[in-house]
Amino acid sequence: MAEETIIADENMKLLIAYKDVFSSPNGKKVLESLKIFAGYNTATMPFTDGGAIDPLAVMRNEGKRAVLIHIETMLNKDLNKPQQKDAK
């Protein structure tokens, strides 16, 4: 089996795993909890007490959101087209 085929098979297995985990009732609950924790649907620009934007908090919040965006990207991939590129 060529290395490219092995990688494609592993990618397909991973995609199926994402869909299996997050399509279950408990997986959906966990995903919703992660979205709340990560501020997935909220602004990520916290302000300091002085009213300035806190750049470190912004980076931390965006990092948390990036994980959720990756999970959502995986869940939205078509199993018939597993070689789709991840959104950046």
Evaluate if residue 29 carries a pLDDT over 80: yes
Over residues 53-85, the pLDDT tens digits come to 888 888 888 899 999 999 999 999 988 875 655
- Structural domain includes residue 25: yes
- Structural domain includes residue 83: no
The span from the CA of 85 to the CA of 76, in Å, is 12
- Structural domain includes residue 68: yes
Q: What is the CA radius of gyration of the chain?
A: 17
The count of domains in the chain is 1
- Structural domain includes residue 32: yes
Q: Which domain holds residue 36?
A: 3-76
Q: What is the pLDDT of residue 83?
A: 61
In which residue are the tokens 């912004």 written? 58
- Structural domain includes residue 87: no
Return mean pLDDT, the chain: 84
Cβ neighbours for 67, distance < 8 A, ≥ 6 positions apart: 34, 38
Q: What is the pLDDT of residue 41?
A: 81
The span from the CA of 13 to the CA of 54, in Å, is 40
- Structural domain includes residue 9: yes
